[in-house]
Amino acid sequence: MTGSARLVLLVRCAACGQEFDTGIRMDRRNFARATFASNYHRCSHCGCQGTYHKEEYLPRDAPPHGRDAIRRDRDVASRDESRPDQT
């Protein structure tokens, strides 16, 4: 069932050029039908807010949900907490 696969929608910041997650999740069928016009998103890298249209969205397969995905998230958080502050 490829039509129901979940997507994560990214965009590329016009200011810094980095891809970032818009927070939008949807299935492929709805993305194909959707009309995105003048959506605002703030870049998580540089903080610049930009307007994005459908052709600028970069659909990616959503990461798997479940116990393994949660475990990976916890492992990353544990590693980050164990690092000394570098300020």
Q: Residue 44: inside a domain, yes or no? A: yes
Number of domains in the chain: 1
Confidence at residue 26, expressed as pLDDT on a 0 to 100 scale: 95
Q: Residue 87: inside a domain, yes or no? A: no
Q: Exposed, middle or buried: residue 13 (CB in 10 Å: 0-12, 13-18, 19+)? A: buried
pTM of the entire predicted model: 0.68
Span 16-61, pLDDT tens digits: 999 999 999 999 999 999 998 889 999 999 999 999 999 999 999 9
Q: Residue 11: inside a domain, yes or no? A: yes
Span 75-85, pLDDT tens digits: 444 444 444 55
What range defines the domain where residue 49 resides? 2-82
Q: How far apart are CA 87 and CA 3, in angstroms?
A: 46
In sequence order, the 6+-apart residues with CB closer than 8 A to the CB of 14 are 48, 50
